[in-house]
Amino acid sequence: MNKVIHKKLNRSLGGSVVLFLIIGVFAFFMMIPLIYAISNSLKPLNELWIFPPRIIVSNPTLKNFNDLFNLMSDSWVPFSRYIFNTLFISLCGTFGHVLLASMCAYSLAKLRFYGSKTIFKIIVYSLMFSSSVTTIPNFLIITKLNLINNYLSIILPAFAAPLGLYLMKQFMESMIPDTLLEAAKIDGASEWRIFFTIVMPIVRPAWLTLIIFSFQGLWNSGSNLYIQSEELKTLNYAISQILAGGIARAGVGSASVVVMMVLPILVFIFSQSNIVETMSTSGIKE
């Protein structure tokens, strides 16, 4: 009943239509480059060079994708190796990040040890600068740890990404009632047991979010200083080499963009509601 009155008061039909038109237009503009990438990737050669260029493809073909795979398998390092590298780094890095960040978040949010508040403050500060400012010292640290040309040089820093810990800690703090943990403790459950059988199932949306963020970041990781040998490089690096070919490779280049964007977008579609739920607790409280 209330809701009906509320709608009548503050939601004019005209306003809704205007608002919908505005975001519809903007949403379309946001999608243009992606649509263009998809349409280009499906164009046969003669259509790529039609003047002026068109969005709609009259004879769609998968030739560009075919060419992409041929081009990649012609390279000195087999294409499958780049895929393996990227998948290995993404899966291991994501798994470790979710596990370690959740454990630490649980400790900071619920176990609250001596000094935990200060540590959380440092983590919030670390969100305020990007990791690029620490490239030089990190290169030295990785060298000293003997991790050059080792997957671990990408995986280990990914374990300790601050954003994931921050989101997880905020989520745990507002989603897990202390009384539940106390009850479990009285029943004699150990902290480890509580963590894996009570806490982790409750914070499912949060760790799905961490999985997605971490996976996206690692999946898109390109060339970096720590990996120099060609056979350890990532898919994104290999693909950016193709795109560097410029307009002459417009078709294959677009196909490669499509290949790279499909997975993150699909993952997001299936997990959108979980991410939004996690973000609901993400605010900075003073």
Partner 1 sequence: MAVTEKIGFKSRLAMIKKDQVGYLFALPYLILFFTFTVLPIGISIFFSLTDFNSISIRNFVGFDNYIRLILNDDIFIIALKNTLIFASITGPIGYLLCFFFAWAVNEIRPKLRAFLTLCFYAPSISGNAYLIWTLLFNGDSYGYVNSILLKMGLINSPIRYFHDPKYMMTICILVVLWLSLGTSFLVFIAGFQGIDKTLYEAAAVDGVRSRWQELWYITVPSMKPQMMFGAVMSITSSFGIGDVLTGLVGFPSTQYAVHTIQHHLQDYGGARFEMGYASAIATVLFALMLGSNLLVQKMLSKVGE
> Measured over all CA atoms, what is the biggest interatomic distance in the chain, rounded to whole angstroms?
75
Distance between CA atoms of residues 221 and 96, nearest Å: 17
Among 61, 75, 150, 220, binds partner 1 (CB under 8 A): 220
Least separation in angstroms between CB 148 and partner 1: 13
Choose, by CB under 8 A, the member of 42, 68, 104, 172 that binds partner 1.
104
Which of 79, 175, 243, 271 forms a contact with partner 1 (CB under 8 A)? 243
Nearer Cβ to partner 1, position 77 or 259? 259
Name the CA dihedral angle for 185, 189, 193, 195, rounded to a multiple of 10 degrees.
Answer: -10
CB of 11 to partner 1, least distance (A): 7
Closest approach of partner 1 to the CB of residue 166, in Å: 8
By CB under 8 A, name the one of 11, 117, 121, 204 that touches partner 1: 11
Applying CB under 8 A, which part among 59-67, 69-77, 176-184, 245-253 lies near partner 1? Answer: 245-253
**H or E element: which one contains 189?**
none
13, 56, 186, 247: residue in contact with partner 1 (rule CB under 8 A): 247
CB 67 within 8 A of CB 252: yes
Q: Are 176 and 150 in contact (CB under 8 A)?
A: no
Quick check: bond before 52 cis, omega within 30? yes
Site for partner 1 in 120-179 (CB under 8 A): 122-138, 140-141, 156-157, 159-160, 162-163, 165
141, 253 Cβ separation under 8 angstroms: no
Distance CA 266, CA 155 (A): 23
Tell me whether residue 80 or residue 273 sits nearer to partner 1 (CB atom). Answer: 273
Q: Least CB distance from residue 104 to partner 1, whole Å?
A: 4
Pick from 240, 235, 234, 272: which is nearest to 253 by CA?
240
Give min distance, CB of 77 to partner 1, in A: 19
Binding residues among 39-98 for partner 1 as defined by CB under 8 A:
40, 49, 51-53
Q: How many residues does the chain have?
A: 286
Q: Smallest distance, Å, CB 159 to partner 1? A: 5
For 109, the enclosing helix (H) or strand (E) is none
Nearer CB in complex with partner 1: 87/279: 279
Number of residues binding to partner 1, judged by CB under 8 A: 105
Q: Which helix (H) or strand (E) holds 207?
A: helix 204-219
